[in-house]
């Protein structure tokens, strides 16, 4: 931290006189760049896409900062294009940056020089009429040479677009340029933090099919870090741990685990493609209060079986009617169906992360390609359960002393009760949903550690239970204290308040949330209670937009107006009233990652103030 501060002060001492000198000479960053637009084809047929490039054409010996500067206080290059009803600019790719050490800088800086082409893709909707169109945008740059840094400036950019009828041909343009141009490669990290179709499209464009699908697999794998998948662990262990010894051989367990995972994969693949074609948000109806209550009741029923109230198994009449071969087939069908059902548990958490996939699949219009993408994502989600299911069968070969196994089963039962109550709280009293988790940890810890009767005559096992109970009480107390932390003070959204902020040139942060949305609650309890986030956003007008009645006319109007596909969505709007599209947040982000988006709005606000002065 001290090093960063000292570096900043060093740069400040050198840049201030240089900047004043540049002002006195009348020089401007606008004089050092000569933006040029290049198209990859003469027309874009309706329903298709084409590549476009904006070349900076920097004056010799001059540089501009890269779009991701090496120091967070530097002004990065940024191209922003405003979408229209029928034209969408996406998959922005910036050129590779170069490290350059200025005489006045103690550290190397990532910069662009020369042509510095910025590439993006323009998608034309199927219902757009043939004709001439324009996309408006802005280009923010700050030019420096080895002696002086000029003030940053935002230039207006106009992209002319020619549209032809669907299915017609086109003439390639600038083929040599687009074949030879190099852009900064996408990364699997981009896929994991994707917030729209553009990041996914860039992943395929820059990394190719194999690594792009690897990134999508990791997206699915990362979904296992969400709290909604915890009951999947309990159900998987319960399902495979209770298999008979002759059914628990490694090969048999692997096959059944694979069938089980294919049930999870099939559900998400089919529903994901259906959502892409209908334009519906995959997580919206799965996050509705009715569905949340249904999931809560189902999980609570599973929890009761963990306490020995009943055993989950098919009716005896069904089993008696099956021959040996049929019984084996029935086991396959049963495990596949179990995968279909258990996959629903994760649904309330995975809506936001797959918005990017839905946007990309919808833009491609290819059902087979869309099914493949969701298949890979869902297989990433289910992969840990393939391993867990395979080796959970080995539990049947462990000593049947009964004491520890009964207690472990009740641990799973308490976890399931807590998850069930959490879902029910989301459906009926969402403001107290996290209090339910705290109560479960405290009461469950007391019950499992001090009241549950298993192994009372075994000293070692009793001490383990006491330790578990004490740890649960400490964890519960920590969670309770976390609930007492102050968070961001939001204003309820209204058109009057929003218009007032625009008229007064105030930067705006809007949180589109719903009471039943689990990632919204995570943001509220984690990110929005972070001291740095609270302090950094105090200069903004912060509006809370309630989307709990997601399908209401008012919510639909706001969703269409701000192009919100699902919740949570955080929208950042600059003092000029234009959204900072690269800063938009969809889904949960940790405080440190969220601050990166906040800094984008602060940088734009500082630019606007500098221009005004």
**Model confidence over 347-390: pLDDT tens digits?**
555 555 555 566 556 545 556 777 787 888 888 888 887 887 77
| pLDDT tens digits, one per residue of 301-324 | 777 767 767 555 444 444 344 334
Residue 259, C-beta contacts closer than 8 angstroms, at least 6 positions apart = 332, 335, 336, 339
**Residue 280, domain member (yes or no):** yes
Bridge partners of 93, per DSSP, are: 119
- What does the DSSP 8-state code read for residue 150? P
CA 275 from centroid of its chain's CA atoms:
17
We report the CATH number of the domain holding residue 135 as: 2.60.40.1250
Give dist(CA 253, CA 574) in Å, integer. Answer: 56
In the chain, count H helices and then E strands.
Answer: 21, 17
Confidence at residue 185, expressed as pLDDT on a 0 to 100 scale: 43
Residue 387, C-beta contacts closer than 8 angstroms, at least 6 positions apart = 257
Give dist(CA 601, CA 339) in Å, integer. Answer: 43
Parent domain of 387: 214-398
355, 566 Cβ separation under 8 angstroms? yes
101, 63 Cβ separation under 8 angstroms? no
**Main-chain phi, psi angles of 170, to 5 degrees:** -150, 165
- What does the DSSP 8-state code read for residue 151? P
353 or 521, greater pLDDT: 521
224 and 271 in a single domain? The answer is yes
Work out the angle between the directed axes of helices 197-222 and 367-392 (0-180°, nearest 10): 20
User: Is it true that the peptide bond before 233 is cis, omega within 30 degrees of 0?
Assistant: no
116 and 262 in a single domain? The answer is no
Residue 419, C-beta contacts closer than 8 angstroms, at least 6 positions apart = 227, 230, 231, 299
Mean pLDDT of the chain: 75
Range with lowest mean pLDDT among 41-45, 74-78, 509-513: 74-78
Confidence at residue 314, expressed as pLDDT on a 0 to 100 scale: 44
If we measure between CA atoms, which residue out of 210, 51, 250, 37 comes closest to residue 136?
37
State the pLDDT confidence band at 295, using cuts at 50, 70 and 90. confident
Letter string b/e over residues 54-65, b meaning 16 or more CB atoms within 10 A of that residue's CB: bbbebeeebbbb
Q: Is the pLDDT of residue 21 over 70?
A: no
Give dist(CA 84, CA 602) in Å, integer. Answer: 26
**Residue 432, domain member (yes or no):** no
**Main-chain phi, psi angles of 80, to 5 degrees:** -125, 130
180 and 251 in a single domain? The answer is no
Confidence at residue 91, expressed as pLDDT on a 0 to 100 scale: 77
**Residue 23, domain member (yes or no):** yes
**Residue 429, domain member (yes or no):** no
Q: Is the pLDDT of residue 233 over 70?
A: no
**Residue 475, domain member (yes or no):** no
State the pLDDT confidence band at 588, using cuts at 50, 70 and 90. confident
How are beta strands 585-586 and 569-573 bridged, if at all?
Answer: antiparallel
Give dist(CA 84, CA 113) in Å, integer. Answer: 31
Helix/strand/coil percentages in the chain, nearest 5? 55, 15, 30
Give dist(CA 386, CA 253) in Å, integer. Answer: 9
175 and 276 in a single domain? The answer is no
What is the arithmetic mean of pLDDT over 572-594? 87
512 and 372 in a single domain? The answer is no
511 and 608 in a single domain? The answer is yes
How are beta strands 541-546 and 491-492 bridged, if at all?
Answer: parallel
| pLDDT tens digits, one per residue of 105-157 | 567 788 899 999 999 989 888 889 999 999 999 998 888 877 777 778 889 99
Give dist(CA 488, CA 529) in Å, integer. Answer: 7
Boundary of a domain, candidates 381, 398, 415: 398
528, 522 Cβ separation under 8 angstroms? no
Boundary of a domain, candidates 343, 374, 398: 398
79 and 175 in a single domain? The answer is yes
Q: Is the pLDDT of residue 543 over 80?
A: yes
pTM above 0.75, yes or no: no
Range with lowest mean pLDDT among 337-346, 485-494, 584-593: 337-346
578, 598 Cβ separation under 8 angstroms? no
Q: What is the DSSP string of 510-549?
A: EEEE-TT-HHHHHHHHTGGG-HHHHHHTTTSEEEEEE-SS
**Residue 203, domain member (yes or no):** no
What percent of the chain clears pLDDT 70, i.e. is strictly above it?
Answer: 69
State the pLDDT confidence band at 226, using cuts at 50, 70 and 90. low
392 and 502 in a single domain? The answer is no
282 and 171 in a single domain? The answer is no
State the pLDDT confidence band at 189, using cuts at 50, 70 and 90. very low
Helix (H) / strand (E) element for 145: namely none
**Residue 137, domain member (yes or no):** yes
* Three-state DSSP state, 132: strand
Boundary of a domain, candidates 373, 398, 423: 398
Residue 351 falls in which region: left (phi positive, over 0), alpha (psi -120 to 50) or beta: alpha
We report the CATH number of the domain holding residue 606 as: 3.40.30.10
176 and 257 in a single domain? The answer is no
State the pLDDT confidence band at 430, using cuts at 50, 70 and 90. confident
259 and 154 in a single domain? The answer is no
Q: Is the pLDDT of residue 187 over 50?
A: no
If we measure between CA atoms, which residue out of 107, 76, 81 comes closest to residue 92?
81
**Residue 443, domain member (yes or no):** no
Count how many domains the chain has.
Answer: 3
Give dist(CA 510, CA 545) in Å, integer. Answer: 7
Bridge partners of 141, per DSSP, are: 153
533 or 384, greater pLDDT: 533
157 and 254 in a single domain? The answer is no
């Amino acid at each position: 931290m001290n090093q960063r501060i000292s570096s900043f002060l060093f740069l400040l001492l050198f840049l201030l006189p240089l900047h004043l000198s540049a002002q006195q000479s009348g020089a401007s960053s606008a004089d050092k760049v000569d933006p040029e637009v290049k198209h990859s084809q003469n027309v874009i047929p309706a329903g298709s896409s084409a590549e476009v490039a904006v070349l900076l054409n920097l004056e010799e010996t001059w540089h501009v900062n890269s779009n991701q500067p090496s120091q967070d206080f530097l002004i990065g290059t940024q191209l922003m294009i405003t979408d229209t009803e029928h034209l969408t600019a996406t998959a922005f790719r910036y050129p590779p940056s170069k490290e350059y050490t200025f005489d006045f800088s103690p550290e190397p800086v990532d910069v662009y020089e020369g042509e510095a082409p910025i590439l993006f893709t323009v998608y034309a909707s199927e219902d757009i009429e043939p004709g001439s169109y324009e996309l408006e945008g802005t280009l923010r740059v700050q030019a420096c040479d080895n002696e002086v840094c000029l003030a940053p400036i935002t230039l207006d950019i106009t992209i002319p677009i020619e549209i032809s009828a669907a299915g017609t041909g086109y003439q390639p343009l600038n083929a040599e340029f687009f074949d030879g141009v190099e852009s900064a490669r996408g990364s699997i990290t981009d896929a994991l933090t994707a917030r729209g179709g553009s990041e996914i499209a860039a992943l395929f464009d820059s990394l190719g099919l194999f690594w792009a699908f690897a990134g999508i697999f990791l997206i699915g794998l990362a979904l296992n870090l969400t709290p909604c998948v915890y009951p999947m662990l309990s159900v998987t262990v319960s399902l495979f741990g209770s298999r008979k010894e002759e059914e628990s051989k490694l090969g048999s367990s692997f096959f059944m685990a694979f069938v089980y995972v294919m049930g999870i994969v099939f559900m998400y693949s089919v529903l994901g493609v259906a959502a892409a074609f209908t334009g519906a948000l995959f997580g919206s109806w799965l996050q509705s209060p009715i569905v949340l209550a249904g999931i809560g009741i189902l999980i609570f029923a599973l929890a009761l079986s963990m306490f020995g109230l009943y055993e989950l198994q098919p009716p005896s009449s069904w089993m008696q009617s099956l021959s040996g071969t049929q019984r084996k087939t029935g086991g396959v069908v049963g495990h596949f169906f179990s995968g279909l059902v258990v996959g629903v548990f994760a649904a309330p958490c995975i809506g936001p992360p797959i918005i990017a996939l839905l946007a990309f699949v919808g833009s491609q219009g290819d059902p087979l390609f869309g099914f493949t993408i969701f298949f890979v994502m869902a297989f990433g989600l289910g992969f840990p359960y393939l391993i867990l299911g395979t080796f959970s069968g080995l539990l049947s070969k462990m000593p049947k002393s009964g004491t520890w196994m009964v207690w472990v089963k009740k641990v799973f039962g308490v976890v399931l009760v807590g998850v069930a109550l959490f879902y029910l709280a989301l459906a009926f009293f969402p403001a107290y949903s996290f209090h339910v988790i705290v109560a479960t940890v405290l009461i469950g810890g007391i019950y499992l550690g001090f009241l549950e009767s298993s192994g009372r005559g075994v000293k070692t096992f009793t001490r383990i239970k006491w330790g578990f109970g004490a740890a649960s009480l400490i964890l519960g107390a920590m969670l309770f204290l976390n609930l007492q932390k102050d968070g961001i003070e939001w204003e309820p959204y209204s058109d009057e308040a929003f218009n007032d902020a625009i008229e007064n040139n105030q930067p705006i942060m809007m949180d589109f949330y719903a009471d039943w949305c689990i990632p919204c609650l995570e943001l509220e309890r984690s990110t929005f209670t972070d001291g740095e986030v609270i302090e950094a956003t105090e200069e903004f007008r912060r509006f809370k937009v309630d989307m709990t009645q997601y399908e209401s006319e008012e919510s639909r109007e706001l969703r269409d107006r701000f192009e919100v596909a699902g919740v949570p969505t955080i929208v950042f709007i600059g003092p000029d009233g234009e959204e900072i599209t690269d800063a938009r947040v969809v889904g949960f982000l940790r405080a440190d990652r969220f601050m990166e988006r906040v800094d984008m709005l602060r940088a734009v606000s500082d630019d606007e103030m500098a221009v005004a002065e």
